[in-house]
Structure 1
Amino acid sequence: MIDPRRIHLLNNCPEQTGPVLYWMSREQRVADNWGLCHAQQLALKRRQALVVVFTLADSFLGATLRQYGFMLRGLEQVRQQLAKLNIPFVLLRGEPRTELLRFIGASGAGCVVCDFDPLRIKRTWREGAAAAATVPFIEVDGHNIVPCRVASPKREYGAYTLRPKLHRLLPEFLTPLPRLERHPFPWSPPLRQEPFDLDRLLSELPCDRSVPEVSGFMPGEEAAAEALADFITTRLPGYALRRNDPCANGQSGLSPWLHFGQLSPQRVALAATAGNSDPDREAFLEELIVRRELADNFCWHCPGYDRLDAAPDWARATLEQHRHDPRPWCYGQDELEHAASHDPLWNAAQRELTTTGKMHGYLRMYWAKKILEWSASPEEALAHAIFLNDRYALDGRDPNGYAGIAWSVCGVHDRAWGRRPIFGTIRYMSFEGCRRKFDVARYSATVY
């Protein structure tokens, strides 16, 4: 059974008869999906059909064909796996709240189970649909190992304040994951549903096609499982020493699958804790659990996570004090997008992002801090960094991305450092500092 602390009621509507709908959004997988498993438990208890619904918006926070392609190819695999379990998958297109409410009425649904997501737009969709619905809306946090609502009731100052809270609760929540079973109650759709036609969807979507799909990451649960197994066996040993070296291929590389919910963070944590505790496992679990769930805490408790308002008071004050400092270099969005700065390392990192859909985590911090140094204002720096990350990264539009950029530009989850021009007391990173840590020339030479 699912821990009831993962569950949150979004409205007070009475239970009704009819199929149980699982509104798939953040958790785009069949295996290891707490929300989907809870929806099946409800459907089995009520002896009702279970239907999985996904609402596809034609535009979403600047997503391009790169992100839509990865997502839709993964959802095609979800549809196939659900069919083997006698669970229909329905894709709706249009404004998510409107389309979901229309489908609830047409299908005679008895209740809706949905995913937790801290992003403003997802929260608006979820809470708006729940408020307008006449059936229960049940939110399940299947993304955080310790559910975000349970981990902390407030915005945390940093990892050092959230870490003990998570560690205290982990033994209760880091448990084996349930398995979905073949559903015994079939669904009789009231209306003819359009078939999931992947090629047609990809050809018709009115998204930005100037950023193409990439071949370095294969979408879907099977590819995610293979990537996890490869990391655990080949790169987890030595992770603590190699993770900050872009030349060492030492990071997990799992973020695209984690972002699209094609891989369960809990499954990753269970795999990483299967052996004896050591510095490599501890370093990886700090990133996977503490830092990742800190990002959800930040976006959940700070709705302006993508604005300067998110900065702590000390950081806002120092950025304001240095707002008019001279900028030896100042680049616009177009110059940044085309990697046309004077810094060869920054240009290489930007080219890696635009070409492969990813950027090494250590370099992403350097990359964002240089955007602050080269922008006319902190607000402009935030806008440029978010635009570029969300446009090109497969793991863009994610709490990790917003928190990472806010850390780099706004001092979120950080402390004051020595004063410098432009940065004030925001932590500074330099080309020379990177060169002392890894072979900058080698990295730059390997990037397209």
Structure 2
Amino acid sequence: MIDGAPAIRVAEVNARPVRRDGAFVLYWMIANRRARSSFPLERAIAWAKELDRPLVILEPLRCDYPFASDRFHRFVVDGMADNARAFAGAPVLHHPWVERRRGEGRGLIEALASHASVIVADDSPIPWLRGMVRAAAERVPIRVERVDHHGLMPLRATPRAFPVAHAFRRFLQKELPAHLAAWPNDDPFAHLVLPRLRALPREITERWPALDRDELRDPAALIARLPIDHTIGAIEDRGGHTAARARLAAFLEDGIDRYPNRSHPDDDASSRLSSWLHFGHVSSHEVLGALGARERWTPAKIAKKPTGTREGWWNVSDAGDAFLDELVTWRELGAVRCAHTDDFMRWEGLPAWARETLEQHARDPRPALYDRARLVRAETDDPVWNAAQRQLLAEGRIQNYLRMLWGKRVLAWTAHPREAFDLLVELNDRYSIDGRDPASWLNVGWVFGAYDRPWAPKRPIYGSVRYMTSESAKRKLRMKRWLAKWS
């Protein structure tokens, strides 16, 4: 009986057999890029133990993913270096590989599959990652599994997409406690004994060589030679599990008590964990576990009956309630929608009422019209918006409240709401370190009425969609220091 992960998180991608006399078990690490707290990793270890075979961990990075740039590449390669250190003392062979020219990775999975017994791949709600695993599974002669560890709630335990957070919150509060009984292993290699594989076959290592120590230690020279966008530079934050845990510790020490008032840019108390969560460098279970340790909380403290409210169900502090609602309800709301629909980031996926009201006001006069180039360069007449855009360009993120305002203003500066929608998706995915992710796509959709309700009175341009202005933000929020930094 193969275990290593809850059955609800494991899906067979093809109907091929396990090759029991294969040379190794292959874990294809593409979404959960960490050496601990990982159900997919545990599933691969379980197969290796069952078959008494070595475990090979392939951690690849293509150069033709959407909006590939120095920003994203550096964060991922930092994580590869962190993983290389973590795997060095474990009975596994870690193969961190970076594609150096477009198409170079073609054939890699098939070559590894020709020697492997079974392939365990990360599952993900992100469409192109799922599609990549599905396409590879059709080409190989052995069993391919995908294992989900996107969040606390298994994606396959959700019946449908949910239109609003309240409905999903009620579902979570009813169903999640049973799934919290299965907790990932913080150290899956403790006392683990597996056969060791000294190296992959030469025909693989010569064509697809792993990154060497110098490239992992200082990847800048390597990244500079790759066919990706070099105009979008790396950010100050470093990728990897070590950096993620350090950021989590700093937030729990100095930020979470102020989290309910995190909207003030001058005192940004947001967790800033979204980038590491996006790249799988830390798990939601680790974050919840660290918060639980701080508050002496266990799952046994969860309220017995679902309430659907944001406060009180977890039985943690008010700050903990606010944070967990973002980490679990809102983050996983987007993931569930992305997993169950194919119109997640298309105009047609917005609620009918929102599309209708925005279309009705599409011909309303705009206060100004800015083309993409001027918006990217932060050349508008709104100093608050310009500051938010400059923060995005430099740090790959925007302070949480201002990210919503940033989107609302673009809606007023484009000739048609459909144009604004496509532009915001592109800007988010190209520049934000947590872009190309269901959670940040949810934020963009919210700008246009997704997960929200109609608001009265109707306003020009926005119709019944929620309205926000920079003037009101300046009145409500402390932002003088933030404006001075980014103006």
Using the size of structure 1 for normalisation, the TM-score is 0.94
1:279-333 CA distances to partner (integer Å, 9 max, x unpaired)? 1100100000010000101212222222101111111111221122221211111
Alignment check: 8 A CA contact 1:87 1:183 kept: no
1:125 maps to which of 129, 132, 139: 132
Query: Could you tell me which residue of structure 1 aligns to residue 200 of structure 2?
Result: 189
For 2:88, what is the secondary structure of its paired residue?
Answer: helix
Alignment check: 8 A CA contact 1:100 1:129 kept: no
Q: Does residue 1:417 correspond to 2:455, yes or no?
A: yes
Q: What are the equivalent positions in structure 2 for 1:4-403 lying under 5 Å apart? A: 4-17=7-20, 18=22, 19-90=24-95, 91=97, 93=99, 95=103, 98-106=106-114, 108-150=115-157, 152-175=158-181, 176-178=183-185, 179-181=187-189, 182-187=192-197, 188-191=199-202, 193=205, 194-197=209-212, 198=215, 199=219, 201-215=222-236, 217-240=237-260, 242-274=261-293, 275=295, 277-403=316-442
Question: CA 1:254–1:11 in 2, change beyond 3 Å: closer, same or farther?
Answer: same
Q: Could you tell me how far 1:30 is from its partner in structure 2? A: 0.6
Question: CA 1:92–1:211 in 2, change beyond 3 Å: closer, same or farther?
Answer: closer
Alignment check: 8 A CA contact 1:228 1:254 kept: yes
For 1:8, what is the secondary structure of its paired residue?
Answer: strand
Alignment check: 8 A CA contact 2:9 2:154 kept: yes
Which amino acid is 2:87 matched to?
L
Structure 2 residue runs without a partner (length 5+): 298-315
Range with bigger deviation, 224-233 or 123-132: 123-132
Question: CA 1:183–1:69 in 2, change beyond 3 Å: closer, same or farther?
Answer: farther
Query: Could you tell me which residue of structure 2 aligns to residue 438 of structure 1?
Result: 477
1:30-66 CA distances to partner (integer Å, 9 max, x unpaired)? 1111101110011111101111112322122113101
Question: CA 1:239–1:396 in 2, change beyond 3 Å: closer, same or farther?
Answer: same
1:205-225 CA distances to partner (integer Å, 9 max, x unpaired)? 11111111122x122111111
1:208-254 CA distances to partner (integer Å, 9 max, x unpaired)? 11111122x122111111111111121111311x2222211211111
Q: Could you tell me how far 1:92 is from its partner in structure 2? A: 5.9
Question: CA 1:189–1:442 in 2, change beyond 3 Å: closer, same or farther?
Answer: closer
Range with bigger deviation, 273-282 or 96-105: 96-105
Distance 2:80 2:60 in 1: 11
For 1:251, what is the secondary structure of its paired residue?
Answer: coil
Which amino acid is 1:59 matched to?
D
Distance 2:81 2:225 in 1: 16
Which amino acid is 2:469 matched to?
S
Question: CA 1:183–1:243 in 2, change beyond 3 Å: closer, same or farther?
Answer: farther
Q: Could you tell me how far 1:381 is from its partner in structure 2? A: 0.9
Distance 2:350 2:167 in 1: 17
Which amino acid is 1:154 matched to?
R
Distance 1:145 1:327 in 2: 43
1:349-371 CA distances to partner (integer Å, 9 max, x unpaired)? 00111111211111111101111
Distance 1:41 1:201 in 2: 35
Alignment check: 8 A CA contact 2:113 2:140 kept: no
Question: CA 1:309–1:391 in 2, change beyond 3 Å: closer, same or farther?
Answer: same
1:107-131 CA distances to partner (integer Å, 9 max, x unpaired)? x111111112112211211111122
Q: Could you tell me how far 1:96 is from its partner in structure 2? A: 9.1
1:374-409 CA distances to partner (integer Å, 9 max, x unpaired)? 111122112221222222221111111111101112
For the aligned residues, what is the CA RMSD?
1.8
For 1:280, what is the secondary structure of its paired residue?
Answer: helix
Alignment check: 8 A CA contact 2:264 2:479 kept: no
Distance 2:468 2:11 in 1: 41
Using the size of structure 2 for normalisation, the TM-score is 0.87
For 1:139, what is the secondary structure of its paired residue?
Answer: strand
Question: CA 1:367–1:143 in 2, change beyond 3 Å: closer, same or farther?
Answer: same
Alignment check: 8 A CA contact 2:48 2:55 kept: yes
